């Protein structure tokens, strides 16, 4: 399926730029088809065949794109390993994948210790500094040889996408031709054409690239790559390349809005903003819509589900501010109890998603697969939420992040959405820590907004008091220069917990209502 789309896109769009690197080098649609054909022949010459795993431990760029397309043409399964992970994390991913071949660069191979990972077959080190088409995967490509396509039977796996959790062993979600086809149908109706100009700094090993590449190729648009994302660079590229669609995590949009050059940057080319990969506060959605002057849509899913829910550009503005939208076409959204009973509208429970896009399971891990899927094939996302009478999903937070304060359940996401409205808050996360009296209390970890006024625990609590029950209000404040994040730019909850451990217990062990606060940096002391 992916191999066919690569060939058709190459014939249809030819010399149209597909990817433009930070130093201006271009990989066209025709280049992708031609070079991946040669690389597929090279893979087969190395003994890689149908069903073999090829692990890509490469920076996001032309080499990764060509290798992924080549593996599909050779009938192999691609396991993407995020090069931004730490060496031990990369090794764990490779151990799970058990690849026949690892394609990587010499620096990544040496720092990862690929050769020492059990289950890894051959190792191919490629140059990634020079990404001119003539040099991309030169060590692998076999010129003048046509790869053998063979005959595909059934629905072979195409991609293994590793989950980005911060605890436990990595798990690889498996997607085949039918899942990629379903994702393309849900996202874009399988249509050809209509692609615009966008930016990308997200790892190609991520769900968004590995499963949406066919639909991206059908669109015929151009993506400008960034080595490392920064708000200033993103704004400069929006203006210089006349970017039409901005997609990214909410943090990236927030940083662009707060950058000193936002007001002087020409963003008139932008037609829409799409946010996903993390919760967007109502305040951020409103600000982005007003200051960019374009519709803002939000998306919600998890790696295992492939596609989930979202808002549309024509929806009322409050949909994206208050919710993450409705189930996408072909997606069955249910809220379930701990026993998998489907709950009625308005009841908070476990968010579950079912569609033809759902992963077929975890790679070589039937026990984890069984735990992730319900009896009827829905993915347990790990998030809590409820569906309102208009079919919109309201998230309450991760099931494992909920804490119990004095016998009452508190969902950090709900508290974060309220605290984000404080004029002194640029970014905020709420995490629990043990308390000798209440069991657990909430700690607000905040990045202060320059010029936002006096940010204190007392001012946070006073502003939120009218919208939150008292037991939900934060009882300690930790100020930091930045929130810790994972390699996929999500909030690192484990690192947050480590950060608040040093904040100390409440001053006198009494509930927050009775604890004095003079607004200093932590615990009001």
**pLDDT of residue 504 exceeding 60:** no
**pLDDT of residue 514 exceeding 50:** no
Task: Give the burial string for 305-337 (b: 16+ CB within 10 Å, else e).
Answer: bbbbbbbeeebeeebbbebbbbbbeebebbbbe
Asked if 255 and 284 count as a contact pair (C-beta separation under 8 A), the reply is no
Report which DSSP code applies to 226.
-
Over residues 241-256, the pLDDT tens digits come to 999 999 988 878 988 9
Report which DSSP code applies to 146.
P
User: Which range, of 138-152, 186-200, 336-350, 414-428, averages the lowest pLDDT?
Assistant: 138-152
User: Which range, of 324-338, 354-368, 401-415, averages the lowest pLDDT?
Assistant: 401-415
Alpha carbons 138 and 35: distance in angstroms, whole number: 9
- In percent, how much of the chain has pLDDT > 90? 68
- Tell me how many helices (H) and strands (E) the chain has: 15, 25
**pLDDT of residue 362 exceeding 50:** yes
**pLDDT of residue 79 exceeding 60:** yes
Alpha carbons 20 and 26: distance in angstroms, whole number: 5
pLDDT class of 215 with cuts at 50, 70, 90: very high
Q: In terms of pLDDT, which residue wins out, 427 or 11? A: 11
In 10 A of CB 162, how many CB atoms?
Answer: 28
- The per-residue pLDDT for 513 is 40
Alpha carbons 193 and 213: distance in angstroms, whole number: 14
The sheet that has 349-354: what strands, in order across it? 332-336, 349-354, 379-387, 393-398
pLDDT class of 343 with cuts at 50, 70, 90: very high
Task: Give the burial string for 462-492 (b: 16+ CB within 10 Å, else e).
Answer: ebbeeebeebbbbbbbbeeeebbebbbbebb
Nearest 5 degrees, angle CA 163-CA 168-CA 171?
A: 35
User: Which range, of 143-147, 177-181, 310-314, 413-417, averages the lowest pLDDT?
Assistant: 143-147
User: Which range, of 292-296, 351-355, 447-451, averages the lowest pLDDT?
Assistant: 447-451
For range 453-472, the mean pLDDT: 88
For range 270-277, the mean pLDDT: 93
For range 348-375, the mean pLDDT: 96
For range 118-145, the mean pLDDT: 85
What are 59's two structure tokens?
């920076």
Q: In terms of pLDDT, which residue wins out, 224 or 403? A: 224
Over residues 291-301, the pLDDT tens digits come to 999 999 999 99
Alpha carbons 304 and 290: distance in angstroms, whole number: 34
Nearest 5 degrees, angle CA 410-CA 415-CA 335?
A: 60
Model pTM? 0.82
Asked if 279 and 416 count as a contact pair (C-beta separation under 8 A), the reply is yes
Alpha carbons 308 and 288: distance in angstroms, whole number: 23
Give the residue among 120, 82, 129 at the shortest CA–CA distance from 102. 120
What are 305's two structure tokens?
């589900």
Structural domains in the chain plus CATH codes: 1-188+202-221 (3.40.50.12780), 403-514 (3.30.300.30)
**pLDDT of residue 167 exceeding 80:** no
Residue partners of 145: CB distance under 8 A and separation at least 6: 38, 41, 45
Over residues 193-214, the pLDDT tens digits come to 999 999 998 899 999 999 999 9
Give the residue among 56, 83, 67 at the shortest CA–CA distance from 488. 83
**pLDDT of residue 390 exceeding 70:** yes
**pLDDT of residue 516 exceeding 60:** no
pLDDT class of 521 with cuts at 50, 70, 90: very low
User: Which residue intervals of 170-248 are DSSP H helices?
Assistant: 177-188, 207-219, 231-241
For range 394-420, the mean pLDDT: 84
- The per-residue pLDDT for 281 is 83
- The per-residue pLDDT for 355 is 98
One-character DSSP codes across 80-127: E--TTS-HHHHHHHHHHH--SEEEE-HHHHHHHTGGGSTT--EEEE--
**pLDDT of residue 218 exceeding 60:** yes
CA distances from 151 to 38, 66, 75, 506, 509 (A): 19, 22, 9, 67, 70
Average pLDDT, the chain: 89
Q: In terms of pLDDT, which residue wins out, 336 or 452? A: 336
pLDDT class of 166 with cuts at 50, 70, 90: very low
- The per-residue pLDDT for 130 is 67
């Amino acid at each position: 399926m992916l191999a066919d789309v690569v060939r058709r896109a190459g014939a249809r769009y030819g010399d149209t730029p597909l990817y433009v690197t930070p130093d201006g080098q271009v990989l066209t649609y025709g280049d992708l088809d031609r070079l991946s054909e040669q690389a597929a022949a090279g893979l087969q010459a190395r003994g890689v065949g149908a069903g073999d795993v090829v692990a890509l431990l490469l920076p996001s760029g032309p080499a990764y794109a060509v290798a992924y397309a080549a593996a599909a043409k050779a009938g192999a399964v691609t396991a993407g390993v995020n090069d931004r992970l730490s060496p031990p994390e990369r090794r764990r991913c490779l151990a799970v994948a058990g690849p026949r071949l690892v394609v990587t660069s010499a620096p990544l191979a040496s720092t990862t210790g690929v050769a020492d990972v059990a289950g890894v077959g051959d190792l191919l080190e490629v140059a990634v500094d020079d990404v001119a088409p003539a040099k991309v995967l030169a060590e692998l490509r076999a010129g003048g040889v046509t790869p053998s396509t063979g005959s595909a039977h059934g629905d072979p796996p195409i991609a293994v996408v590793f989950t980005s959790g911060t605890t436990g062993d990595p798990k690889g979600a498996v997607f085949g031709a039918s899942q990629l086809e379903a994702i393309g149908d849900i996202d874009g109706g399988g249509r050809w054409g209509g692609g615009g100009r966008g930016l990308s700094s997200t790892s190609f090993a991520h769900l968004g690239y590995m499963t949406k590449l066919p639909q991206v190729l059908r669109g015929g648009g151009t993506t400008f790559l960034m080595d490392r994302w920064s708000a200033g660079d993103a704004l400069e590229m929006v203006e210089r390349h006349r970017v039409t669609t901005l997609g990214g995590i909410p943090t990236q949009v927030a940083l662009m809005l707060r950058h000193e050059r936002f007001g002087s940057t020409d963003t008139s080319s932008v037609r829409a903003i799409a946010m996903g990969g993390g919760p967007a506060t109502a305040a951020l959605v409103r600000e982005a819509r007003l200051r960019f002057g374009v519709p803002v849509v939000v998306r919600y899913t998890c790696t295992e589900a492939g596609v989930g829910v979202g808002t549309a550009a024509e929806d009322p503005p409050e949909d994206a501010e208050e919710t993450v939208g409705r189930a996408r076409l072909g997606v069955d959204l249910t809220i379930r109890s701990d026993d998998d009973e489907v709950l009625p509208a308005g009841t908070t429970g476990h968010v579950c998603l079912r569609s033809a896009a759902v992963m077929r399971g975890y790679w070589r891990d039937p026990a984890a697969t069984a735990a992730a899927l319900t009896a009827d094939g829905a993915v347990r996302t790990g998030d809590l939420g409820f569906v309102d009478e208009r079919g919109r999903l309201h998230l309450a937070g991760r099931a494992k992040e909920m804490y119990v304060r004095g016998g009452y359940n508190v969902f950090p996401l709900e508290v974060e959405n309220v605290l984000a409205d404080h004029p002194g808050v640029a970014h905020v996360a709420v995490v629990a820590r043990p308390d000798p009296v209440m069991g657990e209390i909430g700690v607000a970890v905040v990045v202060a907004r320059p010029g936002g006024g006096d940010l204190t625990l007392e001012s946070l609590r006073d502003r939120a008091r009218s919208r939150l029950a008292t037991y939900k209000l934060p009882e300690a404040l930790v100020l930091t220069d930045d929130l810790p994040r994972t390699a996929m730019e999500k909030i690192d909850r484990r690192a947050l917990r480590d950060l608040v451990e040093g904040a100390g217990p409440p001053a006198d062990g009494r509930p927050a209502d009775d604890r004095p606060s003079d607004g200093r940096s932590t615990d009001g002391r």
